[in-house]
Amino acid sequence: MGNSLYYVTTPIYYVNAEPHLGHTYTTLAADTFARYHELVGDDAFFLTGTDEHGDKIARAATEQGTTPQLIADRVSALFRKTWKECGISFDRFIRTTDPQHVRTVKYVLQKVFDKGEVYKAEYGGYYCFGCERYFTQTELDELEDKVCPDHKKPLEYVKEENYFFKMSKYRDALRDYIESHPGFIRPERYKNEVLGFLKEPLDDLCISRPKSRLTWGIELPFDKDFVTYVWFDALLNYLTGIGYPDDPDWKVRWAVCEHIIGKDILKTHAVYWPTMLMAAGVPLFKTLSVHGFWKQKESKIAKSTGNVVRPLEMKAKYGMEAFRYYLLKDMVFGLDASYSEEALVQRVNADLANNLGNMVNRVLNMAEKYVGGIVPQRGDSLGEVHEAFKKETLSAAGNVMAAMEEIKPSRALDAIIRIADSANRYIVATEPFRMVKDDEKKEELEHVLYNLLECIRIIGILLSPFLPRTSKELLSRVGWKSVEGRDHIAAAGQFGLLQPGSKVYKGGPLFDRLEITSVTNDRDMPKESDHPAALIDFDLWEKLDLRIGLVKTAEPIPKSKKLLKLQVDIGEVRTVVAGMAKYYAPEELVGKSVVVLANLKPAKLMGIESRGMVLAVVSGGRGSVLTTDRQSVPGSKVS
């Protein structure tokens, strides 16, 4: 770990339901893992998206009197927007209707077909349209009536000719692989569950649907009367997402791929998927990490049960950081957990408002009152109580890393909150408020405050994967550069990095105490304060060379989804790389009068030297370049 690659995925969500708590937990967990890997210096790539084909969506479209494409476009956009608004740091949002994905699926189908891994046969069986699969005889034997235990809907008898993947022949190879790769499926209980299925004979997998019954899918490249089965299509998104098969780099990312899923789709990911990969001659992903289900009053939380918890409503009510904290803290990864707003409020009040928030508040108050709002001098070793506190604080980074290695985000948060506890105890033990009255204790008072500010810095760094906004706020209050870039974990394992004399900022309460009755008022914690550290002198403003630029040409940059290469006339013609590809087609920018920061140090982006920066704003998920409302001459100074 550290300075390597990491690739994390969520399941791609069906577009027949709007984002709910279950989707949010998985996506948050993946976001936390991606951020954690960035924190320890890895280059993380995070993929999420939507699963848009299949019976389910086709049926929903018929019921709603619309087309599957329209449903898919609307709900997929809703997922994307929800994750953006929740601050989820995904790198790519994939849709199974993306032409690139359709190509990948056809490519793999053809490949397995050519290898003789697929055959045509007639099959009749009991089918669940919710699960999009036939039930096996063993499963049917376990049911009292022919009703799907997950969807509570009667199974339907379906008989038709279809294509089958020879999955059965891979049973032994898969079992051997799982047994010889201990971290392949985790936690252990799910690995055992899969080894349990593999004791029974494995059936072949039906991978097609006749077009006479379903047209909303990807056509089989070797038989135009059929579309492919939704899981054969959906699982391949994980390869499309990293450019398989065309991008030669897909292999390196693939080797470090971690899939995060809920336990409901264990079989498809732990049996269908690896055997499909074996048949296609693609190496297996690195890890399948499986979490349990959030339940509300003993039922799974999902649309079918009517208990919909909408993430943006929770954000508006309690703040995203509070919601994140509760979800990550109160579910032991791998086990089920029960969801309630009462528990959320209690958890956040106890850990964030009281414990962490009060400690930070006390320390910054004391720093302002006793040492003039700056980082004081650190004294030399002044005895046991100080050393013990430092030791405890420094052990947190190791504990967080150990917990994350074992996919225990809840335990990692525990380790962080314990340092806030220990800081509170340190304040009680040293009583800095008494030292202030005693001149001889000045050095010790400074030492105590220095240690406490360091402790806040370390908590700030360690919290970054879990509570990114709180982390930024803590670090900026103690005057530490924010956790962006690489290898910040090292700074959480050292004491003495804050510079004496640098400014600290007290700010308001870090977290408001929540009440269960809180109703929607768009709050987001922690409060972003516009504190003095964010103010700049007029001198600095004057140093900015902002000019009007006329965009002469704009072109995409191969392999980059975000960047465009522009030639901009700012009195002279400059090459400027702008992160606008998601928001503008290149030709839309040509002829626009934009604002350019002309004296930004040149930087190489995707191998192109960019000399300047085009100013833009992203608001409500839409990007827009800054422009003037009257015609201005290229090169004019903006002041």
Residues forming the site for ligand MSP (CB under 6 A):
11-14, 22-23, 25-26, 51, 234-235, 237, 261-262, 264-265, 293-294, 300-302
Is residue 86 part of the annotated active site? The answer reads: no
For ligand MSP, the closer CB: 12 or 489:
12
Taking the complex as a whole, how short is the minimal distance between the CB of residue 14 and ligand MSP, in angstroms? 4
Query: Least distance (Å) from ligand MSP to the CB of residue 153?
Result: 15
Q: Which is nearer to ligand MSP, 40 or 270 (CB)?
A: 270
Rounded distance between C-alpha atoms, residue 346 and residue 349, angstroms: 5
Are 73 and 204 contacting, i.e. CB atoms less than 8 angstroms apart?
A: no
56 is catalytic: no
Instruction: In angstroms, give the least distance from the CB of 300 to ligand MSP.
Output: 5
Query: Quick one: 294 or 466, whose CB is closer to ligand MSP?
Result: 294
State how far the Cα of 209 lies from the Cα of 72, in Å rounded to an integer.
20
Q: In what order do the strands lie in the sheet with 299-300?
A: 299-300, 294-296, 337-338
- 23 HSE (CA, 13 A, CB side): 28
Is the previous residue joined to 245 through a cis bond, with omega within 30 degrees of 0?
yes
Q: Between residues 237 and 430, which has the closer beta carbon with respect to ligand MSP?
A: 237
Whole-angstrom Cα distance, residue 545 to residue 639? 9
Q: Which residue has the tokens 């985790």?
A: 186
Least distance in Å: CB of 238 to ligand MSP? 7
Q: Are 271 and 194 in contact (CB under 8 A)?
A: yes
Given the residues 37, 56, 106, 131, select the one marked as catalytic: 131
Q: Measuring CA to CA, which residue among 100, 56, 50, 99 is closest to residue 75?
A: 50
Q: Which tokens go with 41?
A: 């210096």
Residue type, 121: A
- Amino acid type, 421: D
Min dist CB 20 to ligand MSP, Å, is 7
* Residue whose tokens read 């975000």: 562
Residue 181 designated active-site? no
Q: Given 115, 146, 159, 303, which residue is catalytic? A: 303
Give the max Cα distance, the chain: 92
Contacts of 635 (CB under 8 A, 6+ apart): 547, 548, 549, 569, 570, 571, 572
Catalytic pick among 84, 111, 151, 442: 151
β-pairing verdict for 185-186 and 257-262: unpaired
- Burial of 37: CB neighbours in 10 Å, binned 0-12, 13-18, 19+: buried
Is residue 312 within 8 Å of 85, Cβ to Cβ?
yes
Concerning whether 206 is annotated as a catalytic residue, the answer is: no
Residue among 501, 480, 508 nearest 353 (CA): 508
Q: How far apart are the first and last CA of the chain?
A: 47
The values of phi and psi at residue 10, to 5°, are -110, 165
Q: Which residue is nearest to ligand MSP (CB)?
A: 22
159 is catalytic: no
Shortest Cβ 580–ligand MSP spacing (Å): 31
Query: Closer CB to ligand MSP, residue 22 or residue 468?
Result: 22
Q: How far is the CB of 337 from ligand MSP (least distance, A)?
A: 8
The CA angle 615-620-624, to the nearest 5 degrees, is 25
CB nearer to ligand MSP: pick between 301 and 504: 301
Question: Are residues 69 and 184 in contact, defined by beta-carbon separation less than 8 angstroms?
Answer: no
**Tokens in use for 92?**
């790519």
Catalytic residue among 37, 86, 101, 148: 148
Cβ proximity to ligand MSP: between 76 and 464 the closer is 76
Nearer to ligand MSP, 21 or 498 (CB): 21
Q: Which is closer to ligand MSP, CB of 207 or CB of 359?
A: 207
The nearest distance, CB 91 to ligand MSP, in angstroms, is: 17
- Of the candidates 53, 56, 86, 128, the residue annotated as catalytic is 128
Cβ atoms of residues 546 and 597 within 8 Å: yes
Integer Cα distance of 28 and 256 in angstroms: 19
CB of 274 to ligand MSP, least distance (A): 13
CB contact set of 607 (below 8 Å; sequence gap of 6+): none
- What size, in residues, is the chain? 639
Distances (CA, A) of 241 to 47, 114, 429: 7, 24, 54
Q: Which of 262/549 has CB closer to ligand MSP?
A: 262
Residue 301 Cβ vs ligand MSP, minimum distance, rounded to whole Å:
4
Exactly one of 300, 441, 503, 527 is catalytic; which is it?
300
Active-site annotation holds for 257? no
Encode burial over 527-543: b for 16+ CB neighbours within 10 A, e otherwise: eebebeeeeeeeeeeee
Q: Which residues are catalytic?
A: 20, 23, 128, 131, 148, 151, 300, 303
